[in-house]
Amino acid sequence: MKFDAIIIGGGHSGLPRATELQRSGRRCLVVCAGESPRRFVEPVWSQKEARRAFEALGGTFLMGDSVVRGLFTDHRLMAVQTANHGRTRFEAPLFYLATGSFFSGGLVATHDAILEPVFGLDVDYVGGHADWVSPDFYADQPFMRFGVRVDEAGHPFLNGQPIENLYAIGSVVSRL
């Protein structure tokens, strides 16, 4: 299935970007793993309204689905496959990664590394496990700055090479 742009993540970064693109006449697909867990700070209905506005423009929103595989050729992302759609390929010339930080699963911490679980993109972080967290709860927590490394244009890196048709946006991006 072909789209003009595919946005992975339907939260506060992905959905506005998708809506903007859809409004400019591009057919967009949003893959959203679940409702944004920031219910605590923002009522869930704003998210529902944002989705409705996107769909009213003709956008396609996959709720409760997640990208499990990216198909790359020569530093370009050609297509993605999702948990619900098996072998079906969702193709586009343009992709956005907007999966958020640790809370929404955009970044995953293991004992010895910080990972980006969708594509295995290069992640910027410093030191070992003990350096990631400050014991003072109210201090600036180092792990909050970790994220995928991007070049000046916003392209993330895979094995040291920028992916030229993929952009990382929102809190998945490194602030180191």
Partner 1 sequence: MNPRGDQTFERCMKCTICNDYCPMLAVNPLFPGPKSAGPDGERYRLKDGRFFDNNLKYCLNCKRCELACPSGVHIADLVQLARLEKAPTYPSLRNAMLGSTDLVGRLATTFAPLANGALKSEFVQDALDHSLGVDAHRTFPDYAEQTFVRWYKKEAADRQKSYPQQVSYFHGCYVNYNFPELGRDLVRVLNAVGVGVRLLERERCCGVALLANGMKKSALRHASANLKSIRASLAEDRPVLLTGSTCTLTLRDEYPNVLGVDNSDVKEGITLATRWLYEAVDAGRIKLVFRPDFARRIAYHAPCHLEKLGWTLYSTELLKMIPGVDFVMLDSACCGMAGTFGFKKEYYHYAQEVGEKLFKSIREAKPDIVATDCETCKWQIEMSTGFEVAHPISLLADALDLPATKEANEKGSTASS
Q: Report the interface residues with partner 1, using CB under 8 A.
A: 1-2, 33-37, 39-40, 44-45, 52, 55, 60, 62-65, 82, 84-88, 104
Name the residue with tokens 């070049």: 151
DSSP conformational letter for 38: G
Specify the residue, 71 or 176, whose C-beta has the smaller distance to partner 1: 71
Q: How far is the CB of 171 from partner 1 (least distance, A)?
A: 14
SS (H, E, C) 86-142: CCCCEECCCEEECCCCCCCCCCEECCCCEECCCCCCCEECCCCHHHHCCCCCCCCCH
Neighbours of 136 (CB within 10 A): 8
Q: Which CB atom, from 88 or from 141, has the smaller least distance to partner 1?
A: 88
Question: CB 113 → partner 1: shortest distance, Å?
Answer: 21
Tell the smallest beta-carbon distance from residue 162 to partner 1 (Å): 30
Residues linked to residue 150 through DSSP beta bridges, in sequence order: 156
The helix/strand/coil state of 69 is strand
Q: Which is nearer to partner 1, 34 or 128 (CB)?
A: 34
- Kindly state the smallest distance separating residue 65's Cβ from partner 1, in Å: 5
Whose Cβ is closer to partner 1: residue 36's or residue 171's? 36
